[in-house]
Structure 1
Amino acid sequence: MTHQIKLTDVDLDYFVYSLRSQSLRSAVFNLAVGGKMYKAAGDVAAVRALSGINLEINEGDRIALVGHNGSGKTTLLKVIAGIYHPTRGQMTIDGDITSMIAINAGIEMEATGLRNIYKLGLMRRLSRKVIDSRVDSIAEFSGLGDFLHLPVRTYSAGMLARLMFSVATEFEADILVLDEWLSAGDADFVKKAGQRMQKMVEEAKIVVLATHDHDLVRRVCNRVCELKGGHIAFLGSTEDWMACRETQAA
C-alpha cells in the first residue's frame, strides 16, 4: 500500500450566526485575522480560514506547515487529521492517522485513568483485546502508578498530559500529525517523551508538523508548506524554503 494525503481545491469556512449580537460581531472580526470575512445569508457571516488548498503529501515526506499566528497552519492540520471537514474541495487519505492535536480530547474527568485508557483506545477503533495487550506498557511509560486508579479530575495538569501522551503514542500509525512538538509533563518526562516522539517520526510513513521552530524544520522535515491568510504562499523543499528566507532577510 502506498501512503498519501491529497487535498484538491480545499476551502474551509467558519460560520457565525446572529450577527446582531455585539459579542458575536467581535468574535467574527477576531476569527477574520488571517482569513477573509464575507456575508453568507441572512444574519450569518463566514470566515474563509483556508482557500484553494492544493497539497499532495507522499510516502517518505516529513512536511512542515509554517506561518504566522492566524495564517491557517493549525486549521489545515486539523483538516488533515479529520477534526474539521472541508467546506469545499476534496481530500483523500491513504493510511492510518495518529493525531497529536488536543490530545486530551475525549477525556472523561470523573473516570479513572485506567478507564480513560480504554475509552481513548476504543475511540481509535482499537479492539479491547489490543488495548488489553498495551495497558501495562502505557501505565509504565506514564509513570502514574496507583494514580491510574483515581479519577483524572484529581490529576495535576502535568499528570494528565503524561497519561494522554502515553496513550496517544503507544499505537503505531502510518501518518503522524503534530501541532508543534512536545510539552507533556515535567522535565524528566519531556525528555523521555521526546525520545519516543523521535522514534515515531522515524517510523511513520508520513509526518505533518505545524511549528514555529525553524531549527526543528531544518532537522526533521524535507518539505515546507508556508501559509499566509489561509493560502499556500510557498510549497517546496526545506532547502529552497531556507534559501528564500535568507534572500528575504538580506
Structure 2
Amino acid sequence: MSTESPVAVITGASSGIGEATARALAADGYRVALLARRADRLQALADELGGAALAIEADVTRRDSLVAAAERVQDTFGRVDVLVNNAGVMLLGPFSSEQRADYRQMIEVNLLGAITATEVFLEPLRADGGGDLINISSVAGRTARPTNGVYAATKWGINGWSESLRQELQPDVRVTVIEPGAVGTELTDHITHAATKEATEAFVKDLAIRPEDVAEIIAFAVTRPRRMTLNEILVRPTAQAG
C-alpha cells in the first residue's frame, strides 16, 4: 500500500457484508477504515489485513462518534474514495407496541445512521475527483410483507434518499444502491420475536447467498470507469421467489 492507494470507509465492518467487503477491497488495493461498535472483532480483522486497515470503534447512531471516526481517517489516510453504508439491523416481528424499541433502533441505525455517516464523510468523498457512495438496501426496499413493515420502511427510505443523492451529487459522487435478498449473516441473530426469528432463520438457511457474493458486487461497482455508474443492483439467491 502507498499513500496514493484509494481509501474505503465501511460501516458495520465487524461481520457479514461489511467484513467481507473489507477483505474484497483490501485485496483490490484499497486501504480500509473499519467502523463498528465491536472493537475486538474490528481489531482482529484489521490485524488480518495488516497495514491496509484501520479499526475504529464507532456508533452510526451518534454523530459525534462518526465525526471522531472521520477525523481519524483523515489523520491516518488523508482521503476518502468510497463510503459503504452497511451498518444495519433487521428486527422483524408483528407490528405491535411490544416491538416499539425495535422499530426505533432500525430507523436510527438503518436510515438515520446511513444519512449521518454520509453527511459526515461527504466533503472528503467529493474531493480529489470524486468518490463512490454505496448504500446497502435490501429486497425489502422493493417489497414488503407481514412482520417486516418497519424494516421495509427503512430500506424504502434508503432507496428514495439514494436516488435523490444520485441526482444531486453527480458527477462528483457516484451513488450505488445494493439490494440483497437473503444473505447468510448475523442479522437474524438479533430478532427479538421468537416465532419470527425461527421462521426467518429457517428461510435464510435454505437458500442464502454468502456475504462474499455481495462484497464481490461492491468491489466490481466501485472499480468501474468513472464515466459510468451502476446505480441500482438487485441480487437474490437463485431460489428466492420474492
Q: Which has the higher contact order (CA 8 A, sep 6+)?
A: 1
TM-score by length of 2: 0.29
Return the index of the structure with the highest Cα Rg: 1
Give 1 or 2: higher helix fraction. Answer: 2
TM score, norm. by length of structure 1: 0.29
